[in-house]
Amino acid sequence: MGSGNSEDHHVSEGPINTDRDQLGEETNPMPGPLVPVGNGRALSYANNPKEKVPMTRESILNIQRVLLAGVLAASAIFLAACGDSSKSTPAGTETDIEQSATTATYALALAIGPSENMLTPEEAKTAKEGEVMVSGEKAMTMSGMEATQHLEVFVKDRKTGAPVSDQMVTIKVTNDATKEDTTVPVAAMYGLSGGVADMHFGNNVTLMPGNYTIVVTVGNEPATFMVNMPKK
């Protein structure tokens, strides 16, 4: 459609200039998607021919190594944040409490866990698990209650690291709240699965949740442990 006073407009029939550089427009600085190009060159940018930056296979391998290192580092940080389970054992597992102490001559390791099946050497012949008593006898009750934990102490010579089994060992447990003292009937024993190399001292005990002071005397050298029994 036209109007009464229309003017003729000349339209160039030449090609339209779409070169962004000549039009003064900024070229896209961002590279496009990566596509394979072959001939030893692994990848190249496709949407901006003037900005092609080929990447060699070695470059890609280096990037993959960096990414893998980042993943491993993140995993290490996550595991560290979760805590190292080898340094402490939660209550309710095989060992509830583990502590160590030293005297002038000895290195002691205290462990408290669930009560164990205390065995005589004769009973050990047919048993599959438990603690074999070399001396002493099993403690059925403490303070009139059924034994609920197993308290054991490993003793080694500080100089040689050799297990000590020829010294008199006594164990006294004091309830910090009630001040009640209990002397543990100490048995020298070893775990059935560990053999005589597992020689240690202790017995089954009854320890209610709370704080306790445990004094272990080897010969005439005492060592003190401060223990908190958690609620199950």
The pLDDT of residue 25 is 46
The 3-state DSSP class for residue 52 equals: coil
Q: How high is the pLDDT of residue 54?
A: 60
Q: What is the pTM of this model?
A: 0.58
Question: For 218-232, how does the pLDDT look when each residue is reduced to its tens digit (9 = 90+)?
Answer: 999 999 999 999 987
Residues across the chain: 232
Domain with CATH 2.60.40.2480 in the chain: 97-229
pLDDT at 217 over 90: yes
87 is written with which tokens? 């340094």
- pLDDT (average), residues 95-114: 94
In angstroms, the CA 141 to CA 175 distance is: 16
Q: pLDDT for 192-209, tens place per residue?
A: 988 888 999 999 999 999
Query: Angle at CA 211, nearest 5°, toward 205 and 216?
Result: 55
Indicate the pairing of strand 149-157 with strand 145-146.
unpaired
Higher-confidence residue of 181 and 73: namely 181
Fold of 97-229: Immunoglobulin-like (2.60.40)
Mean predicted confidence (pLDDT) in 94-118: 92
pLDDT at 117 over 70: yes
* Dist. CA 14–CA 201, nearest whole Å: 104
DSSP letter string, 151-214 = EEEEEEETTT--B--SS-EEEEEEETTT--EEEE--EEEEETTT-GGG-EEEEEE---SEEEEE
**179's tokens:** 């001040």
Average pLDDT of the chain is 75
- pLDDT, greater one: 95 or 197: 197
Indicate if the pLDDT at residue 55 is higher than 90: no
CA geometry: angle at 64 spanning 74 and 58, to 5°? 150
Q: How far apart are alpha carbons 31 and 45 in whole angstroms?
A: 6
pLDDT, greater one: 179 or 19: 179
Contacts 24+ apart (CB under 8 A), 174-180: 174/212, 174/213, 174/214, 174/215, 175/210, 175/211, 175/212, 176/210, 176/211, 176/212, 176/213, 177/210, 177/211, 180/143
